[in-house]
Structure 1
Amino acid sequence: MEIRVLRYFLAVAKAESISKAASLLNISQPTLSRQLMNMEEELGKSLFIRGNRKITLTEEGKFLRIRAQEIIDLIDKTQSEFNTSNEIISGDIYIGGGETDAIRIIAKCAHSLQKKYPNIRYHLFSGNGDDVTDKLDKGLIDFGIVIEPFDLSKYDFIRIPQKDTWGLLMKKESPLASKDFIEPSDLLNIPIITSSQRLVESEISKWFGKDLSELNIVATYNLVYNASLLVDEGMGYALCLDKLINTTGDSNLCFRPLYPPLEASLNIIWKKYQVFSRASETFLRHLQENLNN
Protein backbone atom coordinates (compact mmCIF):
# COMPACT_ATOMS: atom_id res chain seq x y z
CA MET A 1 0.00 0.00 0.00
CA GLU A 2 1.56 3.27 -1.11
CA ILE A 3 1.67 6.37 1.06
CA ARG A 4 0.45 8.43 -1.88
CA VAL A 5 -2.70 6.30 -2.13
CA LEU A 6 -3.32 6.66 1.61
CA ARG A 7 -3.28 10.42 1.11
CA TYR A 8 -5.75 10.00 -1.76
CA PHE A 9 -8.00 7.90 0.48
CA LEU A 10 -7.95 10.51 3.26
CA ALA A 11 -8.75 13.30 0.79
CA VAL A 12 -11.82 11.41 -0.47
CA ALA A 13 -12.93 10.57 3.06
CA LYS A 14 -12.75 14.25 3.98
CA ALA A 15 -14.38 15.61 0.82
CA GLU A 16 -16.99 12.82 0.66
CA SER A 17 -16.69 13.11 -3.10
CA ILE A 18 -14.26 11.64 -5.63
CA SER A 19 -14.67 14.59 -8.00
CA LYS A 20 -13.99 17.17 -5.26
CA ALA A 21 -11.02 15.20 -3.95
CA ALA A 22 -9.61 14.77 -7.47
CA SER A 23 -9.80 18.52 -7.97
CA LEU A 24 -8.03 19.20 -4.67
CA LEU A 25 -5.35 16.60 -5.45
CA ASN A 26 -4.96 17.92 -9.00
CA ILE A 27 -5.43 14.49 -10.60
CA SER A 28 -8.13 13.16 -12.90
CA GLN A 29 -11.26 11.59 -11.47
CA PRO A 30 -10.80 8.27 -13.36
CA THR A 31 -7.23 8.01 -12.02
CA LEU A 32 -8.39 8.58 -8.46
CA SER A 33 -11.27 6.11 -8.81
CA ARG A 34 -8.92 3.46 -10.15
CA GLN A 35 -6.44 3.97 -7.29
CA LEU A 36 -9.20 3.58 -4.72
CA MET A 37 -10.57 0.45 -6.38
CA ASN A 38 -7.06 -1.05 -6.42
CA MET A 39 -6.77 -0.29 -2.70
CA GLU A 40 -10.06 -2.06 -1.98
CA GLU A 41 -8.93 -5.07 -4.02
CA GLU A 42 -5.58 -5.15 -2.21
CA LEU A 43 -7.27 -5.08 1.21
CA GLY A 44 -10.12 -7.35 0.17
CA LYS A 45 -12.60 -4.96 1.80
CA SER A 46 -15.12 -2.36 0.61
CA LEU A 47 -14.08 1.02 2.00
CA PHE A 48 -16.79 3.25 0.55
CA ILE A 49 -20.55 3.37 0.20
CA ARG A 50 -20.98 5.14 -3.12
CA GLY A 51 -24.15 7.24 -3.16
CA ASN A 52 -25.58 9.55 -5.81
CA ARG A 53 -24.44 12.74 -4.13
CA LYS A 54 -21.71 11.76 -1.74
CA ILE A 55 -19.45 8.95 -0.64
CA THR A 56 -19.44 7.66 2.94
CA LEU A 57 -17.13 5.20 4.65
CA THR A 58 -17.94 1.62 5.56
CA GLU A 59 -16.92 0.38 9.02
CA GLU A 60 -13.69 -0.93 7.44
CA GLY A 61 -13.21 2.47 5.81
CA LYS A 62 -13.63 4.26 9.14
CA PHE A 63 -11.02 1.98 10.69
CA LEU A 64 -8.60 2.62 7.81
CA ARG A 65 -9.15 6.37 8.11
CA ILE A 66 -7.87 6.31 11.69
CA ARG A 67 -4.88 4.14 10.82
CA ALA A 68 -4.08 6.05 7.63
CA GLN A 69 -4.07 9.37 9.50
CA GLU A 70 -1.72 7.95 12.13
CA ILE A 71 0.62 6.66 9.40
CA ILE A 72 0.62 9.97 7.51
CA ASP A 73 1.18 11.96 10.71
CA LEU A 74 4.15 9.76 11.62
CA ILE A 75 5.65 10.04 8.12
CA ASP A 76 5.27 13.83 8.09
CA LYS A 77 6.82 14.02 11.56
CA THR A 78 9.77 11.84 10.47
CA GLN A 79 10.35 13.83 7.28
CA SER A 80 10.30 17.05 9.27
CA GLU A 81 12.98 15.67 11.59
CA PHE A 82 15.21 14.64 8.68
CA ASN A 83 14.78 18.02 7.00
CA THR A 84 16.07 19.81 10.09
CA SER A 85 19.43 21.49 9.63
CA ASN A 86 22.39 19.88 11.38
CA GLU A 87 23.84 23.27 12.22
CA ILE A 88 20.80 24.98 13.68
CA ILE A 89 18.72 23.22 16.31
CA SER A 90 15.17 23.46 15.06
CA GLY A 91 12.19 21.26 14.42
CA ASP A 92 9.02 20.05 16.07
CA ILE A 93 8.44 18.64 19.54
CA TYR A 94 5.19 16.78 20.21
CA ILE A 95 3.95 16.62 23.80
CA GLY A 96 0.80 14.94 25.09
CA GLY A 97 -0.67 15.34 28.52
CA GLY A 98 -3.64 14.95 30.77
CA GLU A 99 -5.20 17.97 32.35
CA THR A 100 -2.79 19.09 35.05
CA ASP A 101 -1.25 22.29 36.33
CA ALA A 102 2.15 20.62 35.71
CA ILE A 103 1.92 21.75 32.10
CA ARG A 104 3.27 25.04 33.49
CA ILE A 105 6.62 23.31 34.00
CA ILE A 106 6.63 22.40 30.31
CA ALA A 107 5.60 25.95 29.41
CA LYS A 108 8.39 27.52 31.48
CA CYS A 109 10.98 25.15 30.02
CA ALA A 110 9.80 25.77 26.47
CA HIS A 111 9.77 29.52 27.00
CA SER A 112 13.31 29.66 28.38
CA LEU A 113 14.54 27.35 25.60
CA GLN A 114 12.80 29.49 22.99
CA LYS A 115 15.18 32.37 23.71
CA LYS A 116 18.17 30.25 22.64
CA TYR A 117 16.49 28.12 19.98
CA PRO A 118 13.66 30.16 18.43
CA ASN A 119 13.21 27.69 15.56
CA ILE A 120 11.88 24.89 17.77
CA ARG A 121 8.10 24.50 17.52
CA TYR A 122 5.91 22.83 20.13
CA HIS A 123 2.73 20.85 19.47
CA LEU A 124 0.50 20.01 22.43
CA PHE A 125 -2.07 17.24 22.56
CA SER A 126 -4.59 16.98 25.41
CA GLY A 127 -6.11 13.69 26.51
CA ASN A 128 -6.28 11.22 29.34
CA GLY A 129 -3.50 8.74 30.15
CA ASP A 130 -4.79 6.14 27.70
CA ASP A 131 -4.93 8.68 24.86
CA VAL A 132 -1.42 9.94 25.60
CA THR A 133 0.24 6.52 25.79
CA ASP A 134 -1.53 5.37 22.64
CA LYS A 135 0.02 8.24 20.68
CA LEU A 136 3.36 7.79 22.44
CA ASP A 137 3.51 4.08 21.62
CA LYS A 138 2.75 4.83 17.97
CA GLY A 139 5.49 7.45 17.76
CA LEU A 140 3.08 10.32 17.17
CA ILE A 141 4.31 12.29 20.19
CA ASP A 142 7.75 12.52 21.81
CA PHE A 143 6.79 13.02 25.46
CA GLY A 144 3.78 12.41 27.63
CA ILE A 145 2.70 13.88 30.97
CA VAL A 146 0.80 11.31 33.02
CA ILE A 147 -0.81 11.35 36.42
CA GLU A 148 -0.28 8.50 38.84
CA PRO A 149 -1.43 5.84 39.40
CA PHE A 150 0.16 4.76 36.12
CA ASP A 151 2.16 1.75 34.92
CA LEU A 152 5.62 3.17 34.14
CA SER A 153 7.32 -0.16 33.35
CA LYS A 154 7.29 0.44 29.57
CA TYR A 155 8.76 3.93 29.71
CA ASP A 156 11.65 6.06 30.81
CA PHE A 157 10.46 8.94 32.92
CA ILE A 158 11.20 11.96 35.07
CA ARG A 159 9.15 12.46 38.21
CA ILE A 160 7.86 16.01 38.55
CA PRO A 161 8.42 17.33 42.08
CA GLN A 162 5.02 19.01 42.44
CA LYS A 163 1.80 17.08 43.06
CA ASP A 164 -1.82 17.64 42.10
CA THR A 165 -4.58 17.60 44.70
CA TRP A 166 -7.87 15.74 44.34
CA GLY A 167 -11.07 17.38 45.49
CA LEU A 168 -14.66 18.19 44.66
CA LEU A 169 -15.77 20.84 42.17
CA MET A 170 -19.17 22.30 42.99
CA LYS A 171 -21.35 25.37 42.69
CA LYS A 172 -20.63 28.09 45.25
CA GLU A 173 -24.22 27.87 46.45
CA SER A 174 -23.92 24.14 47.24
CA PRO A 175 -24.24 23.08 50.91
CA LEU A 176 -20.80 21.45 50.83
CA ALA A 177 -19.21 24.74 49.76
CA SER A 178 -19.30 25.89 53.39
CA LYS A 179 -16.79 23.14 54.31
CA ASP A 180 -13.01 23.52 54.18
CA PHE A 181 -12.52 19.98 52.92
CA ILE A 182 -14.53 16.97 51.75
CA GLU A 183 -14.67 13.71 53.72
CA PRO A 184 -15.78 10.31 52.36
CA SER A 185 -19.17 10.53 54.07
CA ASP A 186 -19.87 13.80 52.23
CA LEU A 187 -20.01 11.91 48.91
CA LEU A 188 -22.97 9.81 49.97
CA ASN A 189 -26.38 10.81 48.61
CA ILE A 190 -25.09 13.48 46.22
CA PRO A 191 -24.83 13.21 42.40
CA ILE A 192 -21.19 12.51 41.47
CA ILE A 193 -19.35 13.18 38.19
CA THR A 194 -16.07 11.26 38.04
CA SER A 195 -13.20 10.38 35.71
CA SER A 196 -13.74 7.51 33.28
CA GLN A 197 -10.17 6.19 33.77
CA ARG A 198 -10.06 2.84 35.59
CA LEU A 199 -6.85 3.54 37.52
CA VAL A 200 -8.20 6.86 38.76
CA GLU A 201 -11.43 5.18 39.80
CA SER A 202 -9.42 2.58 41.74
CA GLU A 203 -7.38 5.26 43.53
CA ILE A 204 -10.47 7.20 44.59
CA SER A 205 -12.14 3.97 45.72
CA LYS A 206 -9.20 3.34 48.08
CA TRP A 207 -9.62 6.81 49.56
CA PHE A 208 -13.39 6.40 49.82
CA GLY A 209 -13.02 3.00 51.49
CA LYS A 210 -15.73 1.46 49.33
CA ASP A 211 -16.40 0.69 45.69
CA LEU A 212 -17.48 3.77 43.76
CA SER A 213 -20.53 1.84 42.54
CA GLU A 214 -22.04 2.65 45.94
CA LEU A 215 -22.07 6.32 45.00
CA ASN A 216 -24.70 8.04 42.89
CA ILE A 217 -22.56 8.48 39.77
CA VAL A 218 -24.57 10.47 37.24
CA ALA A 219 -21.81 11.04 34.64
CA THR A 220 -18.18 10.34 33.77
CA TYR A 221 -15.73 12.56 31.94
CA ASN A 222 -12.58 12.37 29.90
CA LEU A 223 -11.60 16.05 30.12
CA VAL A 224 -12.62 18.01 33.19
CA TYR A 225 -13.62 21.20 31.36
CA ASN A 226 -16.67 19.39 29.98
CA ALA A 227 -17.41 18.06 33.46
CA SER A 228 -17.27 21.60 34.84
CA LEU A 229 -20.10 22.59 32.49
CA LEU A 230 -22.25 19.83 33.94
CA VAL A 231 -21.44 21.09 37.42
CA ASP A 232 -22.26 24.66 36.41
CA GLU A 233 -25.65 23.51 35.14
CA GLY A 234 -26.35 21.91 38.51
CA MET A 235 -26.08 18.29 37.42
CA GLY A 236 -23.73 17.22 40.19
CA TYR A 237 -20.35 17.43 41.91
CA ALA A 238 -17.17 16.57 40.00
CA LEU A 239 -14.29 14.63 41.55
CA CYS A 240 -11.26 16.19 39.88
CA LEU A 241 -7.84 17.76 40.32
CA ASP A 242 -7.31 21.29 41.61
CA LYS A 243 -6.26 24.33 39.53
CA LEU A 244 -7.76 23.08 36.27
CA ILE A 245 -10.99 25.07 36.39
CA ASN A 246 -11.14 28.77 37.22
CA THR A 247 -13.03 29.19 40.49
CA THR A 248 -12.12 32.83 41.13
CA GLY A 249 -13.90 36.08 40.46
CA ASP A 250 -17.29 35.74 38.79
CA SER A 251 -17.09 31.95 38.48
CA ASN A 252 -20.12 30.08 39.80
CA LEU A 253 -17.88 27.24 40.96
CA CYS A 254 -15.59 26.43 43.87
CA PHE A 255 -13.19 23.60 44.75
CA ARG A 256 -12.75 21.83 48.08
CA PRO A 257 -9.88 19.34 48.65
CA LEU A 258 -10.49 15.82 49.92
CA TYR A 259 -9.61 14.81 53.48
CA PRO A 260 -7.63 12.77 54.24
CA PRO A 261 -5.65 14.44 51.45
CA LEU A 262 -5.43 12.55 48.18
CA GLU A 263 -2.55 13.71 46.00
CA ALA A 264 -1.41 12.60 42.56
CA SER A 265 2.23 12.37 41.52
CA LEU A 266 3.15 13.38 37.98
CA ASN A 267 5.66 12.02 35.50
CA ILE A 268 7.02 13.03 32.12
CA ILE A 269 7.46 9.82 30.12
CA TRP A 270 8.97 8.71 26.81
CA LYS A 271 9.51 5.37 25.11
CA LYS A 272 12.47 3.29 26.24
CA TYR A 273 15.36 3.34 23.76
CA GLN A 274 13.74 6.34 22.10
CA VAL A 275 15.86 7.96 19.37
CA PHE A 276 15.15 11.66 19.68
CA SER A 277 15.47 14.43 17.14
CA ARG A 278 18.03 17.10 18.09
CA ALA A 279 15.19 19.41 19.11
CA SER A 280 13.58 16.81 21.40
CA GLU A 281 16.95 15.80 22.86
CA THR A 282 17.77 19.43 23.59
CA PHE A 283 14.37 19.96 25.20
CA LEU A 284 14.75 16.87 27.43
CA ARG A 285 18.21 17.90 28.57
CA HIS A 286 17.01 21.44 29.34
CA LEU A 287 14.00 20.06 31.23
CA GLN A 288 16.19 17.76 33.34
CA GLU A 289 18.51 20.66 34.20
CA ASN A 290 15.58 22.86 35.22
CA LEU A 291 14.04 20.18 37.43
CA ASN A 292 17.37 19.38 39.06
CA ASN A 293 17.81 23.06 39.88
Structure 2
Amino acid sequence: MDIKQLKYFLTIAEEGQITAAAKKLHIAQPPLSQQLKILEEELGIKLVERGSRHIHLTDAGKILRERARQILELSDSTVNEINDFKRGLKGTLTIGTISSSGSLLLKNVIAKFHKEYSGVKFSIREGNTFNILELLNKGVIEIGIVRTPFKALNYGCKYMKKEPMIAAMTKKYCSGDDTKTMEITELKDKPIILYRRFENLIIEACFENGFKPEIFCKNEDARTTLMWANAGLGIAIVPKSAFELVNNENLIYKEIEYEKLVTSIAAIWIKDRYLSSLAEKFIESFNEDE
Protein backbone atom coordinates (compact mmCIF):
# COMPACT_ATOMS: atom_id res chain seq x y z
CA MET A 1 0.00 0.00 0.00
CA ASP A 2 1.52 3.30 -1.07
CA ILE A 3 0.59 6.98 -1.19
CA LYS A 4 -0.71 6.75 -4.77
CA GLN A 5 -3.04 3.87 -3.89
CA LEU A 6 -4.36 5.80 -0.89
CA LYS A 7 -4.96 8.86 -3.06
CA TYR A 8 -6.84 6.73 -5.59
CA PHE A 9 -8.95 5.07 -2.90
CA LEU A 10 -9.77 8.35 -1.15
CA THR A 11 -10.89 9.90 -4.44
CA ILE A 12 -13.16 6.91 -5.13
CA ALA A 13 -14.60 7.18 -1.61
CA GLU A 14 -15.22 10.92 -1.96
CA GLU A 15 -16.70 10.76 -5.46
CA GLY A 16 -18.84 7.68 -4.81
CA GLN A 17 -18.21 6.44 -8.35
CA ILE A 18 -15.17 4.91 -9.99
CA THR A 19 -16.03 6.68 -13.24
CA ALA A 20 -16.17 10.10 -11.57
CA ALA A 21 -13.00 9.35 -9.59
CA ALA A 22 -11.14 8.35 -12.75
CA LYS A 23 -12.20 11.57 -14.41
CA LYS A 24 -11.03 13.65 -11.45
CA LEU A 25 -7.68 11.79 -11.36
CA HIS A 26 -7.28 12.09 -15.15
CA ILE A 27 -6.81 8.35 -15.63
CA ALA A 28 -8.86 5.67 -17.37
CA GLN A 29 -11.47 3.74 -15.42
CA PRO A 30 -10.08 0.16 -15.90
CA PRO A 31 -6.64 0.93 -14.35
CA LEU A 32 -8.34 2.64 -11.40
CA SER A 33 -10.63 -0.34 -10.85
CA GLN A 34 -7.56 -2.58 -11.00
CA GLN A 35 -5.76 -0.47 -8.37
CA LEU A 36 -8.77 -0.80 -6.07
CA LYS A 37 -8.81 -4.56 -6.58
CA ILE A 38 -5.07 -4.80 -5.82
CA LEU A 39 -5.55 -2.76 -2.64
CA GLU A 40 -8.38 -5.02 -1.47
CA GLU A 41 -6.30 -8.14 -2.20
CA GLU A 42 -3.30 -6.69 -0.36
CA LEU A 43 -5.40 -5.89 2.73
CA GLY A 44 -7.39 -9.11 2.46
CA ILE A 45 -10.76 -7.42 2.89
CA LYS A 46 -13.46 -5.86 0.75
CA LEU A 47 -13.39 -2.05 0.91
CA VAL A 48 -16.40 -1.17 -1.24
CA GLU A 49 -19.72 -2.63 -2.29
CA ARG A 50 -20.32 -1.96 -5.97
CA GLY A 51 -23.83 -0.83 -6.94
CA SER A 52 -25.32 -0.11 -10.36
CA ARG A 53 -24.64 3.64 -10.05
CA HIS A 54 -22.59 4.21 -6.91
CA ILE A 55 -20.16 2.39 -4.69
CA HIS A 56 -20.71 2.15 -0.94
CA LEU A 57 -17.92 1.83 1.59
CA THR A 58 -17.80 -1.20 3.82
CA ASP A 59 -16.91 -0.70 7.48
CA ALA A 60 -13.30 -1.47 6.61
CA GLY A 61 -13.51 1.03 3.76
CA LYS A 62 -14.76 3.73 6.12
CA ILE A 63 -11.79 3.10 8.43
CA LEU A 64 -9.35 3.29 5.54
CA ARG A 65 -11.00 6.48 4.22
CA GLU A 66 -10.27 8.31 7.49
CA ARG A 67 -6.75 6.94 7.78
CA ALA A 68 -6.01 7.71 4.13
CA ARG A 69 -7.16 11.29 4.61
CA GLN A 70 -4.88 11.70 7.64
CA ILE A 71 -1.89 10.05 5.93
CA LEU A 72 -2.22 12.20 2.81
CA GLU A 73 -2.53 15.36 4.89
CA LEU A 74 0.55 14.36 6.88
CA SER A 75 2.40 13.68 3.63
CA ASP A 76 1.51 17.14 2.33
CA SER A 77 2.53 18.68 5.64
CA THR A 78 5.90 16.91 5.47
CA VAL A 79 6.55 18.16 1.95
CA ASN A 80 5.70 21.69 3.09
CA GLU A 81 8.12 21.42 6.00
CA ILE A 82 10.95 20.28 3.72
CA ASN A 83 10.22 23.05 1.24
CA ASP A 84 10.10 25.50 4.12
CA PHE A 85 13.53 24.32 5.22
CA LYS A 86 14.91 24.84 1.72
CA ARG A 87 13.35 28.23 1.10
CA GLY A 88 13.66 29.82 4.52
CA LEU A 89 10.74 31.94 5.69
CA LYS A 90 8.52 31.14 2.73
CA GLY A 91 6.10 28.29 2.40
CA THR A 92 2.85 27.13 3.97
CA LEU A 93 2.09 27.12 7.69
CA THR A 94 -0.47 24.53 8.75
CA ILE A 95 -2.61 25.60 11.70
CA GLY A 96 -5.68 24.18 13.41
CA THR A 97 -8.10 26.67 14.94
CA ILE A 98 -11.31 26.66 16.91
CA SER A 99 -14.09 28.83 15.49
CA SER A 100 -14.29 31.20 18.44
CA SER A 101 -10.68 32.29 17.93
CA GLY A 102 -11.35 33.69 14.46
CA SER A 103 -11.91 37.39 15.11
CA LEU A 104 -9.17 37.86 17.69
CA LEU A 105 -6.69 35.72 15.79
CA LEU A 106 -7.15 37.58 12.51
CA LYS A 107 -6.95 41.03 14.06
CA ASN A 108 -4.13 40.53 16.52
CA VAL A 109 -1.94 37.77 15.14
CA ILE A 110 -2.50 36.79 11.50
CA ALA A 111 -2.57 40.34 10.13
CA LYS A 112 0.60 41.29 12.00
CA PHE A 113 2.38 38.08 10.98
CA HIS A 114 1.36 38.48 7.33
CA LYS A 115 2.65 42.05 7.29
CA GLU A 116 6.07 40.90 8.49
CA TYR A 117 6.26 37.65 6.49
CA SER A 118 4.20 38.32 3.37
CA GLY A 119 5.60 35.28 1.54
CA VAL A 120 4.03 32.83 3.98
CA LYS A 121 0.80 31.08 3.04
CA PHE A 122 -1.64 29.34 5.36
CA SER A 123 -3.46 26.04 5.46
CA ILE A 124 -6.18 26.23 8.12
CA ARG A 125 -8.09 23.34 9.68
CA GLU A 126 -11.10 24.21 11.84
CA GLY A 127 -12.71 22.12 14.53
CA ASN A 128 -13.45 21.93 18.22
CA THR A 129 -10.67 21.65 20.79
CA PHE A 130 -10.74 17.83 20.74
CA ASN A 131 -10.35 17.81 16.94
CA ILE A 132 -7.47 20.29 17.06
CA LEU A 133 -5.60 18.29 19.70
CA GLU A 134 -6.09 15.12 17.66
CA LEU A 135 -4.73 16.76 14.50
CA LEU A 136 -1.78 18.13 16.45
CA ASN A 137 -0.93 14.78 18.00
CA LYS A 138 -1.05 13.09 14.60
CA GLY A 139 1.22 15.68 13.03
CA VAL A 140 -1.36 16.92 10.53
CA ILE A 141 -0.93 20.48 11.86
CA GLU A 142 2.08 22.17 13.45
CA ILE A 143 0.25 24.60 15.71
CA GLY A 144 -3.14 24.44 17.36
CA ILE A 145 -5.14 27.49 18.39
CA VAL A 146 -7.42 26.56 21.29
CA ARG A 147 -9.06 28.16 24.30
CA THR A 148 -8.53 27.57 27.97
CA PRO A 149 -9.32 25.48 29.87
CA PHE A 150 -7.55 22.47 28.37
CA LYS A 151 -5.02 19.93 29.61
CA ALA A 152 -1.61 21.36 28.73
CA LEU A 153 0.31 18.16 29.44
CA ASN A 154 2.90 17.42 26.69
CA TYR A 155 2.18 20.71 24.93
CA GLY A 156 4.17 23.87 24.65
CA CYS A 157 1.82 26.82 25.18
CA LYS A 158 1.75 30.56 24.67
CA TYR A 159 -1.31 32.50 25.81
CA MET A 160 -2.98 35.69 24.79
CA LYS A 161 -4.48 37.85 27.52
CA LYS A 162 -7.57 36.68 29.37
CA GLU A 163 -10.97 37.85 28.22
CA PRO A 164 -14.36 37.73 29.93
CA MET A 165 -17.30 35.56 29.00
CA ILE A 166 -20.35 37.49 27.89
CA ALA A 167 -24.10 36.93 27.92
CA ALA A 168 -25.48 37.75 24.47
CA MET A 169 -29.25 38.15 24.22
CA THR A 170 -32.15 39.88 22.56
CA LYS A 171 -33.92 42.69 24.42
CA LYS A 172 -36.61 40.42 25.84
CA TYR A 173 -34.03 38.79 28.10
CA CYS A 174 -32.41 42.07 29.13
CA SER A 175 -33.29 43.94 32.30
CA GLY A 176 -33.63 47.16 30.34
CA ASP A 177 -30.72 49.12 31.77
CA ASP A 178 -27.70 50.29 29.81
CA THR A 179 -25.03 48.72 31.99
CA LYS A 180 -22.26 46.82 30.20
CA THR A 181 -21.86 44.17 32.88
CA MET A 182 -24.09 41.80 34.82
CA GLU A 183 -23.91 39.56 37.86
CA ILE A 184 -23.86 35.85 37.17
CA THR A 185 -26.93 35.44 39.38
CA GLU A 186 -28.97 37.34 36.76
CA LEU A 187 -28.77 34.17 34.64
CA LYS A 188 -30.89 32.26 37.14
CA ASP A 189 -34.05 30.75 35.57
CA LYS A 190 -33.07 32.09 32.12
CA PRO A 191 -32.69 29.76 29.10
CA ILE A 192 -28.97 29.41 28.52
CA ILE A 193 -27.36 28.46 25.22
CA LEU A 194 -23.79 27.23 25.36
CA TYR A 195 -21.35 25.07 23.54
CA ARG A 196 -20.00 22.01 25.27
CA ARG A 197 -16.49 23.39 25.38
CA PHE A 198 -17.51 25.56 28.35
CA GLU A 199 -20.30 23.46 29.84
CA ASN A 200 -18.47 22.39 33.00
CA LEU A 201 -16.99 25.84 33.55
CA ILE A 202 -20.39 27.55 33.34
CA ILE A 203 -22.25 24.98 35.42
CA GLU A 204 -19.64 25.11 38.19
CA ALA A 205 -19.72 28.92 38.23
CA CYS A 206 -23.51 28.91 38.58
CA PHE A 207 -23.43 26.31 41.37
CA GLU A 208 -20.83 28.38 43.20
CA ASN A 209 -23.32 31.27 43.11
CA GLY A 210 -26.19 29.24 44.50
CA PHE A 211 -28.24 28.15 41.50
CA LYS A 212 -28.50 25.47 38.84
CA PRO A 213 -28.41 26.90 35.30
CA GLU A 214 -31.40 26.34 33.02
CA ILE A 215 -29.60 25.00 29.95
CA PHE A 216 -31.85 25.28 26.92
CA CYS A 217 -29.38 24.21 24.24
CA LYS A 218 -25.92 22.66 24.12
CA ASN A 219 -23.98 22.56 20.86
CA GLU A 220 -20.47 22.30 19.45
CA ASP A 221 -19.73 25.78 18.17
CA ALA A 222 -19.71 29.44 19.22
CA ARG A 223 -21.36 30.47 15.97
CA THR A 224 -24.30 28.14 16.52
CA THR A 225 -24.63 29.43 20.08
CA LEU A 226 -24.87 33.03 18.87
CA MET A 227 -27.21 32.20 16.00
CA TRP A 228 -29.70 30.61 18.39
CA ALA A 229 -29.50 33.62 20.68
CA ASN A 230 -29.94 35.97 17.71
CA ALA A 231 -33.17 34.10 16.92
CA GLY A 232 -34.44 34.99 20.41
CA LEU A 233 -34.27 31.48 21.80
CA GLY A 234 -32.19 32.22 24.89
CA ILE A 235 -29.01 33.75 26.28
CA ALA A 236 -25.72 32.74 24.66
CA ILE A 237 -22.66 32.50 26.86
CA VAL A 238 -19.51 32.88 24.77
CA PRO A 239 -16.07 34.50 24.96
CA LYS A 240 -16.27 38.24 24.29
CA SER A 241 -14.19 38.11 21.11
CA ALA A 242 -16.56 35.52 19.60
CA PHE A 243 -19.43 38.03 19.42
CA GLU A 244 -18.47 39.21 15.93
CA LEU A 245 -18.41 35.73 14.39
CA VAL A 246 -21.99 35.85 13.08
CA ASN A 247 -24.78 38.27 12.26
CA ASN A 248 -25.71 39.63 15.67
CA GLU A 249 -28.07 42.45 14.68
CA ASN A 250 -30.66 41.42 17.28
CA LEU A 251 -28.20 40.94 20.11
CA ILE A 252 -26.79 43.00 22.90
CA TYR A 253 -24.20 41.65 25.29
CA LYS A 254 -23.00 42.16 28.83
CA GLU A 255 -19.79 40.98 30.42
CA ILE A 256 -20.44 38.51 33.21
CA GLU A 257 -18.81 39.70 36.41
CA TYR A 258 -17.32 36.54 37.85
CA GLU A 259 -13.60 35.96 38.08
CA LYS A 260 -13.76 32.30 37.04
CA LEU A 261 -15.76 32.94 33.86
CA VAL A 262 -12.77 34.01 31.79
CA THR A 263 -10.89 32.36 28.97
CA SER A 264 -7.89 33.02 26.76
CA ILE A 265 -6.69 31.87 23.38
CA ALA A 266 -3.52 29.79 23.34
CA ALA A 267 -1.12 28.65 20.65
CA ILE A 268 -0.02 25.10 21.42
CA TRP A 269 2.48 22.69 19.90
CA ILE A 270 3.95 19.30 20.73
CA LYS A 271 6.96 19.49 23.01
CA ASP A 272 10.20 18.01 21.63
CA ARG A 273 8.81 17.77 18.10
CA TYR A 274 10.41 19.53 15.15
CA LEU A 275 8.93 22.98 14.53
CA SER A 276 9.52 24.71 11.23
CA SER A 277 10.99 28.18 11.25
CA LEU A 278 7.57 29.41 10.11
CA ALA A 279 5.91 27.88 13.16
CA GLU A 280 8.54 29.29 15.49
CA LYS A 281 8.09 32.80 14.11
CA PHE A 282 4.32 32.48 14.34
CA ILE A 283 4.53 31.48 18.00
CA GLU A 284 6.77 34.47 18.64
CA SER A 285 4.07 36.72 17.20
CA PHE A 286 1.65 35.66 19.95
CA ASN A 287 1.63 38.62 22.29
CA GLU A 288 0.36 38.06 25.82
CA ASP A 289 -0.74 41.70 25.96
CA GLU A 290 -3.01 41.39 22.90
TM over 0.5: yes
- Alignment partner for residue 232 of structure 1, among 230, 233, 249? 230
| Percentage identity across paired residues of the two chains | 29
Find the aligned partners of 1:213 and 1:137 in 2 and give their Cα distance: 38
Task: Report the CA distance shift for 1:46/1:159 in structure 2 as closer, same or farther (over 3 A).
Answer: same
Task: Report the CA distance shift for 1:151/1:164 in structure 2 as closer, same or farther (over 3 A).
Answer: same
Find the aligned partners of 2:165 and 2:251 in 1 and give their Cα distance: 16
Preserved CA contact (<8 Å) 1:97 1:127: yes
Task: Tell me the equivalent position of 1:36.
Answer: 36
Deviation at 1:83, TM superposition (A): 3.0
Find the aligned partners of 2:123 and 2:9 in 1 and give their Cα distance: 25
Deviation at 1:210, TM superposition (A): 5.8
Find the aligned partners of 2:251 and 2:123 in 1 and give their Cα distance: 30
Task: Report the CA distance shift for 1:178/1:126 in structure 2 as closer, same or farther (over 3 A).
Answer: farther
Task: Report the CA distance shift for 1:154/1:212 in structure 2 as closer, same or farther (over 3 A).
Answer: farther
Find the aligned partners of 1:152 and 1:214 in 2 and give their Cα distance: 29
Counterpart of 1:282 in 2: which secondary structure? helix
Find the aligned partners of 2:245 and 2:251 in 1 and give their Cα distance: 5
Find the aligned partners of 1:211 and 1:60 in 2 and give their Cα distance: 50
Task: Tell me the equivalent position of 1:269.
Answer: 268
Task: Tell me the equivalent position of 2:256.
Answer: 258
Task: Tell me the equivalent position of 1:154.
Answer: 154
- Alignment partner for residue 242 of structure 1, among 240, 243, 247? 240
Matches within 5 A, 1:273-292: 273-285=272-284, 287=285
Unpaired runs of at least 5, structure 1 = none
Say whether residues 1:120 and 2:123 are aligned partners: no
**Matched letter for residue 271 of structure 1:** I
Task: Tell me the equivalent position of 1:12.
Answer: 12
Task: Tell me the equivalent position of 1:83.
Answer: 83
Find the aligned partners of 2:215 and 2:257 in 1 and give their Cα distance: 20
Preserved CA contact (<8 Å) 1:146 1:267: yes
Aligned residues: 285
Deviation at 1:145, TM superposition (A): 2.0
Preserved CA contact (<8 Å) 2:84 2:92: no
Find the aligned partners of 2:139 and 2:273 in 1 and give their Cα distance: 9
Task: Tell me the equivalent position of 1:168.
Answer: 167
**Higher mean C-alpha deviation, range 262-271 or range 97-106:** 97-106
Find the aligned partners of 2:252 and 2:214 in 1 and give their Cα distance: 21
Counterpart of 1:125 in 2: which secondary structure? strand
Find the aligned partners of 1:121 and 1:179 in 2 and give their Cα distance: 44
Preserved CA contact (<8 Å) 1:169 1:228: yes
Find the aligned partners of 1:40 and 1:120 in 2 and give their Cα distance: 40
Task: Tell me the equivalent position of 1:106.
Answer: 109
| 1:194-248 alpha-carbon deviations (Å, 9 max, x no partner) | 1112xx2222222112699943322212221122221122222111111322399
**Matched letter for residue 278 of structure 1:** S
| 1:146-173 alpha-carbon deviations (Å, 9 max, x no partner) | 221111111011222x112112111134
Task: Tell me the equivalent position of 1:27.
Answer: 27
Find the aligned partners of 2:57 and 2:246 in 1 and give their Cα distance: 46
Deviation at 1:276, TM superposition (A): 1.9
| 1:97-142 alpha-carbon deviations (Å, 9 max, x no partner) | 221354133224313322xxx3211223332211211111111111
